[in-house]
């Protein structure tokens, strides 16, 4: 399943020039993306101009349209407090399991260390974690 893997974003050059400094590029962009006779086109809705038209030159390509289950802070609610999550660092070299204690607009506070006292996890320190690095998991056997 596909995660966000973009290494370099495509922007409308006019939009970039006109972007207010307090608005992130991703919030300012107004792009349409779609298939054409030749391939794939990215179109600026605001300026009604071409951003990029990718010509596949007749090559067959594979398209991954799967949706990875992602972790979304605005969807969190009271019932998610105490749920088990797994943290995986960007490189995938570090994996930890813990329970959600709280969150703010940008970070989820996860208790990873409580000396095995998982029933009282809420008394322990939550580590601010990027939600992009988290996924929900079933209760680990060791803690059940």
Site for Zn ion in 25-64 (CB under 5 A): 44, 46-47
Question: Rule CB under 5 A: is residue 12 a binding residue for Zn ion?
Answer: yes
The residue whose two tokens read 């802070």 is: 73
Question: Rule CB under 5 A: is residue 14 a binding residue for Zn ion?
Answer: yes
Nearer to Zn ion, 43 or 84 (CB): 43
Distance of CA 97 to the CA centre of its chain: 19
> Cα(118)–Cα(82) distance, rounded to whole angstroms?
9
Tokens in use for 17?
């020039």
Q: Which residue is nearest to Zn ion (CB)?
A: 12
Applying CB under 5 A, the site for Zn ion has a residue count of 6
- 83, exposed or middle or buried, with CB in 10 Å at 0-12, 13-18, 19+? middle
Nearer to Zn ion, 52 or 73 (CB): 52
Give, rounded to a whole angstrom, the gap between the first and last alpha carbons of the chain.
29
**Residues shown for the chain:** 144
Nearer to Zn ion, 44 or 108 (CB): 44
Binder among 11, 15, 101, 133 for Zn ion (CB under 5 A):
15
Give the shortest CB-4-to-Zn ion separation in angstroms.
22
Residue 113's φ and ψ, nearest 5 degrees, are: -125, 120
Which residues bind to Zn ion, rule: CB under 5 A? Answer: 12, 14-15, 44, 46-47
């Amino acid at each position: 399943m596909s995660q966000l893997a973009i290494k370099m974003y495509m922007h409308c050059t006019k939009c970039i020039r006109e972007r207010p400094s307090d608005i992130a590029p991703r919030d300012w962009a107004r792009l349409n993306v779609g298939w054409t006779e030749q391939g794939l086109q990215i179109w600026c809705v605001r300026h009604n101009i071409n951003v990029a038209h990718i010509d596949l030159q007749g090559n067959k390509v594979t398209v991954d349209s799967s949706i990875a289950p992602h972790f979304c802070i605005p969807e969190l609610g009271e019932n998610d407090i105490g749920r088990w999550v797994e943290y995986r660092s960007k490189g995938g070299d570090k994996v930890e399991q813990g329970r959600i204690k709280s969150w703010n607009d940008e970070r989820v506070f996860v208790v990873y260390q409580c000396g095995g006292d998982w029933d009282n996890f809420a008394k322990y320190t939550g580590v601010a974690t990027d939600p992009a690095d988290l996924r929900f998991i079933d209760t680990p056997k060791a803690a059940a």
